[in-house]
Structure 1
Amino acid sequence: MNIRARRRHLAFTALAVCTGLCGLLSGVPAAAQDYPSKPIKFLVGFTPGGSADLISRFVAQKLGERLGQPIMVEQRLGATGIIAQDAVSKAPPDGYTMVLLTGGHPTSAAMKKKLPYHPVNDFGMVSTIIEYPMAIGVRPDSPIKSFADLLARAKAEPGKLSMSSAGIGSLHHLLGEWIKIESGTEMIHVPFKGAAPAYTELLGGRLDVFVETMTFLNVNFKNGQVRPLAVSSSQRLKDFPNVPTISETLPGVDPTSWLGLVVSPGTPRAIIDRLNTELRAVLAEPATAERFAQLGGVPAPSSPEEMRSRVQREIDRWTRVVKLRNIERED
């Protein structure tokens, strides 16, 4: 091979190597660097005015500002969020369609015989966003004075006291069932379609025990409309230092509700990492903590792996509760 041919061969080889390396190095990172280049769709599977809807809109605005593209909130109602979640589970894996998972997502997985998606593998987990405890209360004139008193009365008169939930299979319902398992008590489960009708029945004296999220009960505890008995957080709440946690009486019973951001499965990790980084920045803002406090919650950033582990762990927990209480699973 003469000198000119050898130089030409070396040049082609160098070009091929450079092209290969550039392709390897620029593939996924380039997608992240270019992302987002158009508006993002944020599906909301819950009714307007609820905590999931309010948080979705707050996060959409703040996150969109950081990403430099508008995040368009779109209502996709039905089946307690399952329709919206299914749409995201089957959307293109490009980071342009997102949805919230809620603390009710693991309970749905435990209660449903079949879902249109795998509750863990069919989502690209980004991060949890907010966490807020469940709480147990009674009307102000109730003879039940404390959580310990509630359990004592339930043991003394099995099946007499009534306890609300937001529906069969809801987090509220399964928390009540978990309490029964750990305390060896029996109380009547009364499902309602939302907090408002249960609250009306409580104040009317037709319901003994009210189980709800702090999103609803925060204000009602403060204004004295509901007497707090216990909260499900692992630690007592700063605003209610005299209200014990459930786990102080029943160790390990400390489930909290939450909201978390997910995208389609197969979304490049670089895009997920970009969303996680910007979302963490939003959650670190004082205005976010202030807004979340108004809803009875706190910012709860996580890694994608931590969120995925949490979802799986809670599915396992609620599946155990469903089995132990012989709760009929839904089609």
Structure 2
Amino acid sequence: MHEDHRNLHHRMVRAAPEGLTRRALLGAAGAALAAPALAQTDWPTRSIRLIVPFAPGGSSDVLARLIQPGLGAALGQPIVVENRSGAGSMLGTEAVARAPADGYTLLLADLPYTIVPALQARMPYDVEKDLVPVAMVGVAPLLIFGHPSLPVRNAAEFAALAKAQPGHFTYGSGGVGAASHMMGELFQAVTGTQLTHVPYRGGGPAIQDLAAGNINTVFVTVASAAPQLSSGQIRGLGVMAAERMRSHPDIPTFREQGIDLIAEHWWGLLAPAGTPVPVIDKIAAAMPAVLAAPDMTPRLEALAVIARPDGPAAFGQRIREDLVRYRDIARSRGITAQ
């Protein structure tokens, strides 16, 4: 028994009225010591904030609002989605990192959570110390899309063409440091190619310029390019996943083409460091049922998102691996935030 626990016991014994039995004293002391643990199991007793570090309407915001009712019902308290965009997701992330570690403030993070630290010389929070993984929500395979004018049918053929003409072919992105930018850098590093990066202010303009034939390729999710893909304005050249997509089985994986590259966009819940383990476990235990709800499957498929309710350990491992991956690629290719 710790020193403070012994002191509590002795104080109760000294203060006990005459005639109170030793068994009663021990029972009262045990109840006092168990109070914090009981308080944790009673969580939650009020609404929970779910902070999205991006503006309304994006994929993270849509996913947050998809899981909002089911997670709230599972936990017995309403989930309040709050958008806090700015500074490339750092503003909202910092708000959660600085919040009380009581389980009432959560973050819906995505892949940029592990990319931003690779590009920033200084961060207002420590991604490895100030927040802890709670549960994953889902993943979306990343693909390379090309304009139909390219004389290639897949990523391997494009890599061979690009090798023969270093710097000639372009790829667009949502801006320096965006996931679409880092995917292009990964592709070049793995294939030994040299492409010309064309950054845009957001992924939408990059896709539009690809469809117009102004750039050659982009590296994004299917959801980001669905209208242009279905209309034939752009072509899927390869999927950076272990298996082909059920929604687009005609697009081969990179590994099928001899390119050793797997990369996924992911989303998951994090909490301030120090959040009680029983609270984290309660949220993680609720996520599989939330994501397996009958009305959830078609909604996720519409976003080309695959449910992946991994718990804290697996989610934490993914974060650690991605932090190393994007720090290495940023360092080796000299990429910094602008």
Q: 1:232, 1:14 → 2: CA distance? A: 65
Q: CA deviation at 1:12?
A: 4.6
SS in 1 for 2:108: strand
CA distance in 2 between partners of 1:14 and 1:262 (Å): 43
Kindly state the Cα deviation for residue 10 of structure 1 after the two structures are TM-superposed. 10
User: Which of 3, 18, 23 is the matching residue for 1:14?
Assistant: 23
Give 1:196's aligned amino acid.
Answer: G
- Note the C-alpha offset of 1:20: 4.1
Q: Distance in 2 between matches of 1:314 and 1:105?
A: 9
Tell me if structure 1 keeps the 8 A contact 2:146–2:217.
yes
Q: Does residue 140 of structure 1 match 2:148?
A: yes
Structure 2 equivalent of residue 4 of structure 1: none
Task: Please report how far the alpha carbon of residue 166 of structure 1 lies from its aligned counterpart in structure 2 after TM superposition.
Answer: 1.6
Answer yes or no: is the 8 Å Cα contact 1:100–1:261 preserved in 2: yes
Query: Residues 258-297 of structure 1: matches in 2 within 5 Å?
Result: 258-297=266-305
Label 1:53 to 1:157 Cα distance change in 2 as closer, same or farther (>3 A): same
Instruction: Classify the secondary structure of the residue corresponding to 1:100.
Output: strand
1:28 aligns with one of 30, 33, 37: 37
Structural mapping, 1:43-62, within 5 Å: 43-62=51-70
Correspondence for 2:135 = 127
Q: Tell me the amino acid that sits aligned with residue 288 of structure 1.
A: M
What is the one-letter code of the residue matched to 1:197?
Answer: P
Q: Distance in 2 between matches of 1:203 and 1:219?
A: 10
Does residue 115 of structure 1 match 2:123?
yes
Structure 1 residue 17: deviation in Å? 3.0
Matched, 1:96 2:99: no
Report how far residue 248 of structure 1 moved. 2.9
Query: Which residue of 1 is the match for residue 332 of structure 2?
Result: 324
- Between 99-108 and 282-291, the greater mean CA deviation after superposition: 282-291
Closer/same/farther in 2, CA of residues 122 and 12 from structure 1, 3 Å limit: farther
For the 8 Å contact 2:134–2:283, the answer to whether it is kept is yes
* Offset at residue 222 of structure 1 (A): 3.1
- SS of match in other structure, 1:99: strand
| Preserved CA contact (<8 Å) 1:136 1:211 | yes
Cα shift at 1:23: 4.2
> Could you say what secondary structure the match of 2:295 adopts?
helix
Query: In 1, distance between residues paired with 2:231 and 2:305?
Result: 18
* 1:86 pairs with 2:89: no
| Contact in 2 for aligned 1:165/1:210 (Cα 8 Å) | yes
Could you tell me which amino acid in structure 2 is paired with residue 22 of structure 1? A
Distance (Å, rounded) in 1 between the aligned partners of 2:138 and 2:304: 10
- For the 8 Å contact 1:126–1:276, the answer to whether it is kept is yes
- Per the alignment, residue 3 of structure 1 pairs with none
d(CA) in 2 for partners of 1:219 and 1:99? Answer: 30
1:226 is matched with 234
- Separation in structure 2 between the aligned mates of residue 51 and residue 160 of structure 1, nearest angstrom: 32
Q: Is the 1:43–1:76 Cα contact (8 Å) retained in structure 2?
A: yes
CA contact (8 A) 1:139 1:202 kept: yes
**TM-superposed deviation, 1:168:** 1.1
Q: TM-score scaled to structure 2, two decimals?
A: 0.89
Asked if the contact 1:183–1:250 (Cα under 8 Å) also holds between the matched residues in 2, the reply is no
1:157 corresponds to: 165
TM-score, length-normalised on structure 1? 0.91
The one of 69, 72, 77 aligned to 2:80 = 72
Counterpart residue number, 1:167: 175
How far off its partner does 1:163 sit?
0.6
What is the CA deviation profile of residues 236-261 of structure 1, one whole-angstrom value per residue up to 9, with x for unaligned ones? 11122221112333554101001101
Aligned alpha-carbon RMSD (Å): 2.0
Unaligned residue ranges in structure 2 (runs of 5+): 1-16
Query: 2:4 aligns to what?
Result: none
Q: CA deviation at 1:11?
A: 5.5
Report the CA distance shift for 1:11/1:202 in structure 2 as closer, same or farther (over 3 A): same
4+ residue segments displaced more than 4 Å: 8-12, 23-26
- 1:152 and 1:10 map into 2 onto residues whose CA distance is 90
% identical aligned pairs: 30
**Quick check: 2:171–2:196 contact (8 Å CA) kept in 1?**
yes
Please state whether the residue corresponding to 1:286 is helix, strand or coil: coil
- SS of residue in 2 equivalent to 1:69: coil
Measure how far apart 1:152 and its partner are: 1.0
d(CA) in 2 for partners of 1:194, 1:301: 28
